[in-house]
Amino acid sequence: MTKPAYKRVLLKLSGEALMGEDAYGINRSTIERMVADVAEVANLGVELAIVIGGGNIFRGVAPGAQGMDRATADYMGMLATVMNSLALADAMRQVGITARVMSAIAIEQVVEPYVRPKALQYLEEGKVVVFAAGTGNPFFTTDTAAALRGAEIGAEVVLKATKVDGVYSADPNKERNAVRYSTISFDEAIAKHLQVMDATAFALCRDQKLPIKVFSIVKPGAFKRLIMGEDEGTLVHV
């Protein structure tokens, strides 16, 4: 059997990927399908860390949060990512994958705090590490948390899971002639005004020479195929 193309990766899942067709929250069959994909990769022996967003929960509370102080709303968003992380880790447990959730915000009765050497130890032990509460700071996003943690743990790539199977020359839902880039450099992506990750996350990856791979989490088997080095999604390289 051919070997995986990566040894250690950071997977960024958006919270909204957990909603499935629902308006908000966590859709059971969606999370189960996602975890089955994650398990396939974890079982290949790839060291896997995950950052998950909170959009699916925060969306549900957003109407009540209108007019709120931005930092307070952001802390609510970070707490939403803790809920998603717990749900994800538990869904992994149900399929026999050992996962550890580590939070950037102290909430020790629920989740252990993020401590970098501990995270590295878990990864070396073959456990999946889920980084909760984003960066722990308001005014940031979980994309930035993914870039930050990816750099900290020495991941070879940040895998940005989306609903689209890569970066396109134009919006593939609107432009029939839009083409998918198989690879593109950071500089080309900037010059072409292509949206890959939020600007802070993108700049951090670029500075740290940490490649980003954008791929579809809804396309069956895509996650494993890209891990095996097949032409899936778009690789943004230095």
Q: Which residues are annotated as a binding site for ATP?
A: 12-15, 55, 59, 162, 168, 171
Is 215 an interacting residue with respect to ligand UDP (CB under 6 A)?
Answer: no
CB of 43 to ligand UDP, least distance (A): 26
Angle at 125 between CA 44 and CA 128, to 5 degrees: 60
CA distance 70 to 52: 20
Please state whether beta strands 47-52 and 128-132 pair in parallel, antiparallel, or not at all (unpaired): parallel
Q: Specify the residue, 79 or 128, whose C-beta has the smaller distance to ligand UDP.
A: 79
Is 211 an interacting residue with respect to ligand UDP (CB under 6 A)?
Answer: no
CB of 16 to ligand UDP, least distance (A): 5
CB of 51 to ligand UDP, least distance (A): 8
CB of 103 to ligand UDP, least distance (A): 12
Q: Specify the residue, 68 or 178, whose C-beta has the smaller distance to ligand UDP.
A: 68
Q: Which residue positions form the known binding site?
A: 12-15, 54-55, 59, 74, 135-142, 162, 168, 171
The token pair at 217 is 């989490």
Please state whether beta strands 234-237 and 212-216 pair in parallel, antiparallel, or not at all (unpaired): antiparallel
Is 134 an interacting residue with respect to ligand UDP (CB under 6 A)?
Answer: yes
From residue 2, how far is each of 41, 101, 140, 182, 229 by CA, in Å?
A: 14, 31, 39, 21, 10
Convert 40-70 to b/e letters by CB count within 10 Å (16 or more is b).
ebbeeebbbbbbbbbbbbbbebeeeeeeeee
Please select the residue that binds ligand UDP; options are 60, 113, 126, 138, rule is CB under 6 A. 138
Q: Specify the residue, 58 or 228, whose C-beta has the smaller distance to ligand UDP.
A: 58
Please select the residue that binds ligand UDP; options are 6, 9, 10, 14, rule is CB under 6 A. 14
Q: Specify the residue, 58 or 168, whose C-beta has the smaller distance to ligand UDP.
A: 58
CB 161 within 8 A of CB 92: no
Stretch 41-80 residues interacting with ligand UDP (CB under 6 A): 53-55, 58, 73-74, 77-78, 80
Q: Which one-letter amino acid corresponds to residue 90?
A: D
Q: Specify the residue, 30 or 142, whose C-beta has the smaller distance to ligand UDP.
A: 142
- 89: DSSP letter: H
Is 150 an interacting residue with respect to ligand UDP (CB under 6 A)?
Answer: no
Please state at what angle helix 70-94 crosses helix 28-42, rounded to 10 degrees. 70
Residue 237: burial class (beta carbons within 10 Å; 0-12, 13-18, 19+): middle
Q: Which residues bind ligand UDP (CB under 6 A)?
A: 14-16, 53-55, 58, 73-74, 77-78, 80-81, 134-135, 137-138, 140-145
